[in-house]
Structure 1
Amino acid sequence: MPDTNQRKYFVDLLFRQSYGVLFANFVIPWPVAYIFRDVATLSEIGAWILGMYGLTACRLMLALRYFEQSSKAGIGNPQTWGWWAAGLSWASSLLWGVIGWVGFASGDPQMLAFSCVVLTGLVCGAVPSLSAFPAAYVGLMLAMLAPVTLQCLIQSGEIYTTYLLFVACLAAVNVYYCRVTYRSLCETIGLRLENVDLVGRLELERDRAQAADQAKSRFLASASHDLRQPIHALGLFVAGLAALAERGDVAAAKARDLAARLGTVIGNLGGLLNGLLDISQLDAGVVPVTREAVSVERLFADLADEFGANARARLLHWRVRPRGLWVDSDPVLLKRMLDNLLSNAFRYTHEGGVLLGCRRRGTSLEIQVFDTGPGIARKYREQIFEEFVQLHNAERDRSQGLGLGLAIVRHTAKLLGHEVRISSALGSGSMFAIRVPLAVPPATLRPPQPVGARGAGLGILIIDNELTVLDALRQLLEVWGHKVYAGASVQEACNRHGEAAEKGPAEVHLILSDFRLSGMNGLEAIRRARHYLNEAVPAIIITGDTSGACLDSTAQSEFRVLQKPLDATLLRDSLKTCLDARD
């Protein structure tokens, strides 16, 4: 059964292919009138011609009206137009059927033959014109052939029996061809609609690809600029440090100042690379999601403590309105989203304050972040969720962030299936909201895990085939007071430990390994190191590899993964977290 779109095409064909029939209705009546001049009166012939012309004119005006409406506001239900065309066609066919009635009533063999020729031509010629609307064709055929059939039944004689058989065969053959034509039209129109749909989808995908390509170009341009800045600054600081060293000993105060400045630059660079990594992982769909019931009260308490110092330092009102509800989400990813929203809120709020609250929306909870910042114009409310977009930071001041926070929020919300919305008024502030499904509180709450206490000096096995990285990490850990057994391969690191063990106690509390090593990956290196130590020592993978294979492999492992470049504070905290988890 054709759907609405197919019916529209069928009705279009009905009207487009009817012009040939309408032309025949204007031309053929005149030779027919001439032949029938001796069997009908002039007034009868004139009335027949006027009736034929009137119906033909109505059919022509209907077709013109149909195409006019179709090109403007639309035609509504196409079937209605089809039935109007069919009705006028049936009326015209009845007038043609009068020819058969009069011709067969005369009894003249020539008139009988002429009538059959005219009706046969009209019935056969209408097949391609009306097959798009089978009801119209069947009605036409019945209206034309019924008078002849009736005369053949009334009259007696073999000639009328023969004509009756002829009419029956003519009707059967033309109904068959009408059915075949209609099926062919169905297939043709179906293929056409599929092609139209395919072209539409291809155009949509082309537009998406072009938009993605443009976004990628903007992304790379912005990333290139933001990467060059800290690298440029880093090079200048290193050159300055080298110049000071050439003059002699560097004063402690000057060294601390340079170290602080270098730390700031490296922190900016690390923040940018970590943001890019987050975007990459979210786009690749390799971020593991662990859904569980999350306490809103506890989440808000953590955020209140986290941003409290910032609010006090900037003399901003910082209010948190928790509720004793639970939501179904990934606690780490949800907190990361709120961290980004709150960081933006504090960054762009210079007076007034920030409010973190929530409202119940049916079976969901809407977590809301309000600020009294400059607000966001409506035309920018989609754009701000793109990478590196900062409306109020045209100078690309690094202290104002990187422009990746809201992009990470958007990607994370899509991953979790949470809805993000924004409401803003220029000059009054903005409200960002995340809608999260409510969850049933867990039956039993796990008690907090005790934090293990260890001495400052740990034994750490390091495996990294980048010698500069290996040496820098070894020096840092030794400065922190740890015993380090470092090697470019697992075998070399184990040999260093073996040499130390021959001289005295050499306990290993932690393994740090790069992921991409010569001949194996970090997972295999950790497995071999544990086999050598004969103990399941805690391990951390430190890598700069962001490939899908690396992300998939590490996501399925039990090990904590840190991305290069690595902030020293994060490394220190990760060492403690990893060891505390073992305790």
Structure 2
Amino acid sequence: MRAGKEGRSELGAVPLVSALAASLDDVDARRALTARDLQDVLSGIRIPIVLLDSDLTIRFFTPEMSRCFNLVETDIGMPLWDRIGLASDQMLGTDAGHVMQSLTPVEREIESLGGVCYIRRIFPYFSSRREMVGTVIAFVDLSDQKRTAEVLECARAQAEASNVAKSRSLAAACHDLRQPLQNLVLLQELLAKEVVGDKAEDLVERLDQALGNMSGMLNGLLDLNRIETGSIRAEYEVFPICALLHRIISDLVDQAEARQIALEVSPCSMFVRSDPQLLEQMIRNLLSNAIKFTKRGRVLLGCRRRKGTLSIEIWDTGIGIPEDQLRNIFEEYHQLDGSARNRGNGRGLGLSIVKRLGRLLHHPVRVRSKFGKGSVFSIDIEPSYRELPARHDISSSSPIVYLVNHDRELRRSIRNTLDHDGWVVEDHENGASFLQAYKPGCDACLLIDTDGPGMSGSTVLSRLQDLGHSIPVIMMARHGDVATTVAAMKAGAVDVIEKPIHSSELLDGVARVMRLVRMSDSTAGRSDGSADRIPCFTRRQQEVMQRVLAGHPSKNIAVDLGISRRTVESHRASIMKKAGVRSLPALARLAIAGGW
């Protein structure tokens, strides 16, 4: 431990004492300097200092030693360790002996019998002939520093307690606000059914937007609160970044199309180590912001390698950010101008959440922008060159996963994912190439796109059936393409995976199908109680489900059934919850198992 500035200045006087002691030792060279002269000098130093000879007996000490450690004149010439006032310093003799042998200073924090804390420093002193003749021990009082540290610690503890109390109050307030907000949403839906006329409908639509903004603000506040209190913890795993980027693009493409903005993603075959959910939230917030603040042009999401780092970048041709505001945009509630607020383009929380999640994940967030031209937001993340930790456990017979996809980069990413999980993969650019190379007789499954060029997945499946081959097929379908999903399942596909593909869903699906292969029963496991769950749907839920499975959008379903779009979405959520599924392909499997 080190002393403060005052303590260091006091320790700076110690070399002077050492020099004086050396002068006393060299009597022949400096007869003018008497013991009395030295005693006068020592008496003027207001810190406890004691001089020992080579036998560690006391030669001199300052008056402060008497006050602090009860040394008296008769202690001169006595062994150091016999002094009662220094009895609490159990390492004093050991440290002094070490200094005598090594000729290097020793510093230690000690506490006196009176409870006072000191920095105790021992160092050797030498004669004018550079002979080591003893040691100097100096004590610097740390009482002021300790009191200051205690005050600071108390203030820190009070601040933390205050923050915890505020966080709890904020969480409770947000929770309490959710119920009246939900009531407002229900009332708005009822009002939407009753109002007639363009002006009234416009007001209802604006009310719906206001409620959505309120809900988003509550969610943002809760996210910030959870990050600040440490409730959110990073759970790292290795995964392909390409699947995550495609999933985000798929979710936001409708938003971009509504604003007539081109939304593009650049393929990337790299694996990264991060928390996929938190990283997705960061990218999603940045990409959503880019879309909101881009009036025309395009938004591009992609990756770039920079000196051992993978930079996930979001480029836009939007309004840009003034240079003097680049430092402020990550602060809570900061918005660029009043017009942005009036348009409802943001609540000023998204970028703050991104910045804090970046600190949590150790993923630095950078931004560069040219006002009126556009911006580039970047998340720097360390790529992973290691294998995924989880591996399947099927058998040692090396079953084959045939992969058919015309997108070279996506095909490479899928192959890398399967390779890392230990599967033997044979990939093909199209269905014709696969059919020509396929050799039946070994354990295998086929992973194929539903709408590949030249020969679709359904066509390949039909050809396999015509040839009498019973290889199980996993179809890859576009996100939300329920009609294609249902058609694929009815055509004989064992499973359907939505694009963009998540690594966990891909690996789980392949492992599940390979287990079916080993059981030699392509229908095993297909009926998991799903059929028994169909009758529990209400009549209205069954009507909604029929139209969802037919591929109808929520807007059309609302018109067909005479209900609001929000009510349709509510029924869809209830159906998914009752069925215990999270995706439309899973819902399609349930429906087929139930004989729909």
TM norm structure 1? 0.47
Highest CA radius of gyration, 1 or 2?
A: 1
More helix by share: 1
TM norm structure 2? 0.46
More strand by share: 2
